[in-house]
Amino acid sequence: MELTYTEVDGYFYPDLTLPDAEEHRPLGKYGLLRKTYLKQHRPMMYDRLLLAGKLDGHLREIDALAAEQVDRIIADLAAKEGVNEQLKATDQLRWVGLMNSFKAAAEEQILREIVYA
């Protein structure tokens, strides 16, 4: 990578630019958690991704993958336990409790395997 410089008042400043942002949507929950984890526990990896201009792409990839996996795990657990729309119609509190526990279990697994890996 070759840098070019611009002279201003006898000083040479490097011509640095940020890469064009591919997407302007904000990061989701899992992307933000990954960013915090990298900053606090893997600062070298965070800096390397940031300086290479790959941090946003990495965070968006982790966010999308984690959200997709959580949805899939929740659906699998609900099917396995027989939680369906009929239960939702007849016993809403039980349905909500089961779905919340499925979500908590799925997020715990995804955080351990994807976000904090």
45 lies in which domain range? 28-115
Phi, psi of 61 (to 5 degrees): -65, -45
Is 18 domain-assigned?
no
Q: What is the pLDDT of residues 63-112, one digit of tens each?
A: 999 999 999 999 999 999 999 999 999 999 999 999 999 999 999 999 99
In a domain, 2, yes or no: no
Answer whether residue 12 is part of any domain: no
Is the residue at 83 inside a domain? Answer: yes
Closest by CA position to 106, among listed 64, 68, 59, 63: 68
- For residue 10, is it within any domain? no
**For the chain, what is the domain count?**
1
Say if 49 falls within a structural domain: yes
Task: Kindly report the pTM of this predicted structure.
Answer: 0.76
Does residue 17 belong to any structural domain of this protein?
Answer: no
pLDDT of residue 26: 87
Write out pLDDT tens, residues 19-66: 565 556 789 999 999 999 999 999 999 999 998 889 999 999 999 999
Q: What was the pLDDT predicted at 79?
A: 95
Contact 78, 102 (CB under 8 A): yes
